[in-house]
Structure formats: C-alpha cells, structure tokens
Structure 1
Amino acid sequence: MNPAQHSAQAVPLQLGRSDGTARQPQRFTAVKLTTDTAKDHIIWSLCCFVYTNPFCFGLAALIYSIRARDRKVAGDLDGARRYGSTARCLNIWATVLASIIICIIVIVLIVVANQSYGGYSFYH
C-alpha cells in the first residue's frame, strides 16, 4: 500500500453519519452450527442387505442403520452414534464375510473347471 496516495482527510477515523450524529453500535448474534453428526451408514447397509447377506448381518446392519437415523431425527445424537457404530461393525463383518465367500466360490469354480476339462492333473 502506498501511503502517498491516501490523505488523512479521506479516511474517517470514527464511524458516524455525514450529518454529525453518532451511529448506534451494531449487535451481532453468533450461531454455532454443529457439524458433528452421527453417521447411520444406510447406503452401505442397503448394499450389504441386497447384494450379500451372509448370516443375516446385512439385515441386522440395515435395522441398526434405520434406528440410528430415527435417533438422529429425534435429536438423540448419542443414541444415533451408538446405533450407527453397531451398524458400521455389522457392515464390516458382512462385507468381509461376503468377500471371503465370493473368493472361495471363485477358487472352487476355477479348480473344478480346470479338472473337468482335462486341465492340469495332480496324478500324472
């Protein structure tokens, strides 16, 4: 900033009206918005329920996700966090078990297809 361009007369030091009367101080209200919300993992639960539902973990996760959403709507963030955490754990178990089951099925299909079509044999 170049101070030579601005004169002391151009910048008012006191806030006031041009007619000489003082202006009333403005009052501000601060609103604190809480961004710390509980996660309900409803989409993950729906995917675990619809696509892979080993040992009904997907159904249980969906039920806990709906309960977490209900608690969040009711304003009980602690209850929503508890239900959301349980839904998350159930979703993790369902996803891991489904992944293991799918891998086992793929391996078994590859081995059966390889043996039935005259592929590599262990007894040569």
Structure 2
Amino acid sequence: MNHTVQTFLTPASTNCPPNYEILKEEHEVAALGASHNTAPPTSTVIHIRSETSVPDHVRWSLFNTLFMNSCCLSFIAFAYSVKSRNRKMVSDPTGAQAYASTAKCLNIWALILGIMMTILLIIIPILILQAYQ
C-alpha cells in the first residue's frame, strides 16, 4: 500500500507573505480560464408582453343591431364595439377592455329584451285570437 504524506503549508510556517495562498489561488483560477471579476454575475430579464386577445364584440353588436334592436341598445353596443376595436388598433388594451365590457353588457341586455319582445309579439296575438273564439 502506498502511503503518502501531504503537508499543508500555512503562511506562518513558510515565511511567505500572508497573501501568498490567495495569489496562488487566483493564478490557478486564471490558468483554468475563469474570469477575474469577483462581482456576482448579473442577469438581464426581458419581459415580453403576450398579445392578449381582447374581444370587441362587433359581430354580436351588428347582429343585435340588425335583428334585435330594442331601445337602440344594440346600436349603442355597436358604437362601443367600434371604439374597442379602435383602442385595440392603437395598442391600448386597457381602454379596449373597458369599451368591450360595456359593449358586452349592452349586447346581453339587447339580446334579452329582443327575445322577450319577440316572444311577446308571438304570444299576445295568439291569446287575443283565442279570446275572440
């Protein structure tokens, strides 16, 4: 069996300046190709905004305007939908979302009122005809 004895030299026992070990380590690091910079590495983070799709509800508003325009709500919804689309074109997602949510709310109310009016226009004449028979 091979027994080797390793001796560790300290600055006090070698009569060398106290920074000899530090210089030796720096030389070894430089020989290995590492950088001399002792500052911590910095990183750069780039935030890429994903293109969030804001629905503008133009088709729904147009359908409601043509077929279920009760109290002109769907025409107003169509105007807000166009405003939402314009805001989306100028890269203002917050404004586009605000106009789109207003258009959506107006479209829901216009659709509900339009369906109720259509049902009433069908039921009322039937009830009147049955009353006279």
Which among 91, 94, 99 is matched to residue 75 of structure 1? 91
Q: Which runs of 4+ in 1 moved over 6 A?
A: none
What TM-score comes out, normalization by structure 1 length?
A: 0.65
| CA deviation string 1:6-34 (max 9, x = no partner) | xxxxxxxxxxxxxxxxxxxxxxxx99562
Q: What's 2:123 paired with?
A: 107
Question: Is 1:46 aligned to 2:88, yes or no?
Answer: no
Q: What's 1:20 paired with?
A: none
Percent identity over the alignment is 33
C-alpha distance in 1 between matches for 2:85 and 2:121: 35
What amino acid maps onto 2:122 in structure 1?
V
* Superposed CA RMSD: 1.8
Bigger Cα Rg: 2
Which among 39, 53, 57 is matched to residue 37 of structure 1? 53
5+ residue gaps, structure 1, are: 1-29, 119-124
Q: How many matched pairs?
A: 88
Q: What's 1:91 paired with?
A: 107
Residue aligned with 1:44, SS: helix
What TM-score comes out, normalization by structure 2 length?
A: 0.61
Q: What's 2:76 paired with?
A: 60
C-alpha distance in 2 between matches for 1:74 and 1:67: 11
C-alpha distance in 1 between matches for 2:96 and 2:49: 18
| CA deviation string 1:58-82 (max 9, x = no partner) | 1100000000000000000000000
Residue aligned with 1:75, SS: coil
